[in-house]
Amino acid sequence: MSALVVSNLDKSFGGLRVTRAVSLRVEPGERRLIIGPNGAGKTTLFNLIAGEMRADRGSIALFGQELTRTASRRRAHMGLSRTYQIITLFPGDTLLHNVMLSLLALTGLRWNPFLRLGRQRDLMAKAEAALARVNLAHLAARPLADTSYGERRRVEIAMALAQNPRLLLLDEPFAGLSVEERRDVQKLLAAIPRDVTIVMIEHDMDVALDFAERISVMHFGEVIVEGSRAEVVADPRVKEIYLGE
Amino acid sequence: MSENGSRAVNGRAKAVALMLAAGVLAALPFWVSGVFYVNISSQILIYAVFALGLNVLVGYAGLVSLGHAGILGLAAYAAAIALAAGFGHAEAILFALAATLAGTAVFAALALRATGIGFIMITLALGQILWGLAYRWISLTSGDNGINVAARPAPFGFDLSDPNAFYYATLVVFALALAAAAVFIHSPFGASLKGTRDQPRRMNALGYHVWLIRFYACLFSGLLTGVAGILFVYYNQFISPQTLALTSSAEVLLMVISGGSGTLLGPIAGAALVVIVKNLASAYIERWNMLLGAIFVAIVVFMPEGLVPGSVRLARWALKALRPPAAGGPSQKAEAP
């Protein structure tokens, strides 16, 4: 059973077809990279998979479970987590609280109006462990607004991993990072165990190519090439897109 | 360590302040002179409960309602109509609360189709509809004449027709409402609600049901508002369409914003400010509305975050300025993570 099967997905905004008959099959434990120039429809594809947009046609299945019509909040409960290209966190709250919100989302506790969140030791310990995983345990009590961009990226990843996803969608996890920060995030991603399947969008081929086993190249809403790293790099169509030959 | 220590000190200071405030409020009938001021204090507490209710939406859900006077009026009319129909006080109060919750549920289901400006406009329209009903459905509401409530209840033998007794009853209800609001916002559900205020899209992706969270918040807000409405109708022993007017909705919204939305004490300070200016300043100044306006402008200029958070900020700043730098400044900087 594949971790993610996307078949014949179509999405148009008015007359603009941003996703054209996209089909993908990602196996469990696989690291898949999606690359393509700006406006190729990579983030739209993520929004369709995560359910934030509804596809016009086609279907999506997560570990054999059909979820084309499933609300996006339900998909989180089915084991799908994502990070965003533009950081969307809770700036007024501490790092610990940010991660706790992520954990809380998957428990029935989130509806409880009587208990005190600050006394939920179990949840706090889990959040601290998630922060430790991205080497941010020492900043747990700091408000997010007082952290650097690179640290926020890691909080994003900590929040996604805290949910124990089966499928993790990473939307440009390296965007805007310094060389050192990139190295940190790279290490972090390499350390994620294989029971998490990862699909990653990355603009920058250099950092991302090492990470992935298979690569899908998108262009104008279509997957035009798919294959191993060597196959993709050697493909004349990829050269044409990236180098304009 | 030092952080835990300062938190404990902070907690102790808060407990002391809370007990002091409770003592001052409990002894109020003994240190204010006369029924007039006791009644004003009751009014402040009633509006404080009302503002606490609205603050659940404005401060914690990020949803601004301009129809809350309609909900307050709904509770007040429901109680008054039930009493006029011959029901007892307990039945009337329960009926009023049930009617308010049901009405709020309908309100919320309609208004939550939008957020932001859309939400404001829908709540405004719904509030106006209730005002119109109170005004025009004469067979039920007696229209412009309003409904009189013959007597206040006498729970456990305390006759609430005495202003002091009514003040104490209001104080108890107010304390319960404040405690309920405090528990609510520090709960996991409160955290969920604040999350939907700050990042609704992210909350949805994390697995939260944003709409339902907002809906429950509306119900809680409606419940507190309904409690305030019942106190209101017993205090005045009268309800008329005037109470449901748009200006009343705007007034309570100003209480929340001027006091500090999204804080527990802000709405209470805002309620006190408005009620005091309205009742006391109006005895001396004919254009008290202008005075209130000037105060609001001053708040917006000097404390845009509201009276309570603004005062805290100014107090901190003053403490820092007063304290010698060797003791306060650098060590504090080093401690702050």
Q: What is residue A27's predicted lDDT score, i.e. its pLDDT?
A: 93
Two tokens, residue A240: 């044409």
Torsion of CA B77, B82, B86, B88, to 10 degrees: -110
Q: How far is A243 from chain B (nearest CA, A)?
A: 36
Confidence at A39, pLDDT banded by 50, 70, 90: confident
- Which pLDDT does position A245 carry in this prediction? 52
pLDDT of residue B5: 57
The predicted-structure confidence for A177-225, as pLDDT tens digits, reads as follows: 888 888 888 888 999 999 999 999 987 777 777 888 899 999 888 888 8
Alpha-carbon distance A231 to nearest alpha carbon in chain B (angstroms): 34
Percent of chain A with pLDDT over 70: 99
pLDDT at position B337: 41
**Most confident of the ranges B3-7, B69-73, B148-152:** B69-73
Q: Is pLDDT above 60 for B336?
A: no
pLDDT at B121 over 60: yes
**Res B329 pLDDT > 70:** no
Chain B positions in Cβ-Cβ contact with residue A101 (cut-off 8 Å): 191-192, 195, 203, 206
The three-class DSSP label of residue B266 is helix
- Residues in chain A with CB shorter than 8 Å from the CB of B204 are 52, 72-73
Confidence of residue B324 (pLDDT cuts 50, 70, 90): low
Edge-to-edge strands, sheet with A57-62: A16-26, A4-13, A57-62, A65-66
Instruction: Name chain A contacts of B183, Cβ cutoff 8 Å.
Output: 113-114, 116
Nearest CA distance, B263 vs chain A (angstrom): 14
Rounded to a whole number of angstroms, the distance between the first and last alpha carbons of chain A is 39
Q: What are the strands of the beta sheet with A167-171, ordered from one edge?
A: A80-82, A167-171, A197-201, A31-35, A214-219, A222-228
Report the alpha-carbon distance of residue B307 to residue B265 in Å, rounded.
9
The one-letter amino acid at A243? L
Q: What distances in angstroms separate CA A28 from CA A168, A198, A235, one per listed residue? A: 11, 9, 26
| CB-based contact A105 B209, cutoff 8 Å | no
Task: Give the pLDDT of residue B325.
Answer: 61
Contacts of A82 in chain B (CB under 8 A): 205
B186: nearest CB among A101, A118, A142: A118
Residues B196, B72: contact at Cβ < 8 Å?
A: no
What is the DSSP track for B44-84? HHHHHHHHHHHHIIIIII----S-HHHHHHHHHHHHHHHHH
Residue A234: pLDDT band (50, 70, 90) is confident
B-chain CB neighbours of A72 within 8 Å are 204-205
Of A92, A100, A116, which has the smallest distance from its Cβ to B186's Cβ? A116
Question: Which tens digit of pLDDT belongs to each residue from A107-116?
Answer: 999 999 999 9
Residue B76 in this model has a pLDDT that exceeds 50: yes
- Cα→Cα distances A124→A36, A61, B6, B7, B206, Å: 39, 33, 20, 18, 17
| Contacts of residue B230, Cβ cutoff 8 Å, sequence gap at least 6 | B75, B76, B79, B93, B96, B97
pLDDT (average), residues B253-260: 94
Does the pLDDT of residue B288 top 90, yes or no?
no
Tell whether A139 is within 8 A of chain B (Cβ).
yes
Exposed/middle/buried for B62, CB within 10 Å: 0-12, 13-18, 19+?
Answer: buried
Q: Which helix (H) or strand (E) holds A31?
A: strand A31-35
Identify the CA nearest to A61 among candidates A219, A145, A167, A144: A167
What is the average per-residue pLDDT within A59-72?
Answer: 91
**Cα B87 to Cα A164: distance, rounded to the nearest angstrom:** 56
From chain A residues 54-93, the ones with a CB under 8 A of any chain B CB are: 72-74, 76-77, 82, 84, 88-92
* Mean pLDDT of the residues in chain B: 89
Positive or negative: CA dihedral B325, B326, B330, B336: negative
Task: State the complex-level ipTM.
Answer: 0.90
Nearest-CA distance A45 → chain B (Å): 15
Q: Is the pLDDT of residue A101 over 90?
A: yes
| A164 touching B (Cβ < 8 Å) | no
Find the closest chain A residue to B211 by CA distance. Answer: A73
> How is B134-189 classified by DSSP, letter by letter?
HHH-HHHH-GGG-EE------GGG--TTSHHHHHHHHHHHHHHHHHHHHHHHHSHH
Query: Which domains are seen in chain A, by residue range?
Result: 1-79+165-245 (3.40.50.300), 90-162 (no CATH)
Average per-residue pLDDT for chain A: 90
H or E stretch covering A61 = strand A57-62
The three-point CA angle B104-B105-B108 to 5° equals 80
Q: pLDDT at residue A66 above 60?
A: yes
A227 backbone dihedrals φ, ψ, rounded to 5°: 170, -170
Q: CA–CA separation, A225 vs A218, rounded Å?
A: 7
Question: What tokens were used for A39?
Answer: 């406006």
Domain ranges of chain B: 41-246
Q: Provide the chain A residues 186-245 that lie in CB contact (below 8 A) with chain B.
A: none
Q: In angstroms, how far is CA B152 from the centroid of its own chain?
A: 22
Mutate to test the interface with A, among B60, B203, B206 (most CBs of A within 10 A): B206
Residues of A in contact with B188 (CB under 8 A): 104, 109-113, 115, 117, 120
Q: DSSP string covering A104-158, please?
A: HTTSGGGG-SSS-GGG-HHHHHHHHHHHHHTT-GGGTTSBGGGS-HHHHHHHHHH
What is the chain B residue with the closest CA to A93? Answer: B195
Nearest CA in chain B to A86: B202
Query: Which of A33-47, A50-64, A72-86, A228-242 comes out lowest in average pLDDT?
Result: A228-242
Picking from A72, A84, A117, the nearest residue to B187 by CB comes out as A117
The answer to whether the beta carbons of residues B274 and B280 sit under 8 Å apart is no
Q: For B293-306, what is the mean pLDDT?
A: 90
Task: Determine the pLDDT at residue B152.
Answer: 87
pLDDT computed for residue B333 by the predictor:
42
Scan for tokens 């208990």, then name that residue.
A115
The pLDDT of B210-223, averaged and rounded, is 97
* Best to test chain A binding among B186, B202, B261 (most A CBs inside 10 Å): B202
pLDDT value, residue A14: 87
CA B41 to each of CA B27, B103, B271, B275: distance values in angstroms, whole numbers, following the listed order: 12, 29, 10, 9
pLDDT at B334: 41
Which residues of chain B are at the A interface, by a Cβ-Cβ cutoff of 8 Å? 3, 183-184, 186-192, 195, 198-199, 201-210, 216, 220, 337
Which segments of chain B does DSSP mark as H helices, in order? 2-26, 28-31, 35-55, 68-84, 89-111, 117-136, 138-141, 163-186, 188-198, 200-206, 210-236, 246-259, 266-276, 282-284, 288-302, 307-322, 329-335
φ, ψ of residue A13 in degrees (nearest 5):
-105, 105
**CA distance linking residue A175 with residue A156, whole number of Å:** 13
Q: What is the pLDDT of residues B218-246, one digit of tens each?
A: 999 999 999 999 999 999 999 999 999 99
Q: For residue B297, which amino acid is it?
A: V
pLDDT in the model for residue B330? 44
Question: Cβ separation of B199 and A73 shorter than 8 Å?
Answer: no
pLDDT in tens, A117-159: 999 999 999 999 999 999 999 999 999 999 999 899 999 999 9
How far apart are the C-alpha atoms of B277 and B328, rounded to whole Å? 38
Give yes or no for a contact between B305 and B297, defined as CB atoms under 8 angstroms apart. no
pLDDT of residue A230: 84
Which residues in chain A have their CB less than 8 angstroms from residue B185's CB? none
**Residues on chain B touching A74 (C-beta within 8 angstroms):** 207
Report the pLDDT value the prediction gives residue B7, as an integer from 0 to 100. Answer: 65
Residue B162, CB-side half-sphere exposure with 13 Å CA sphere: 10
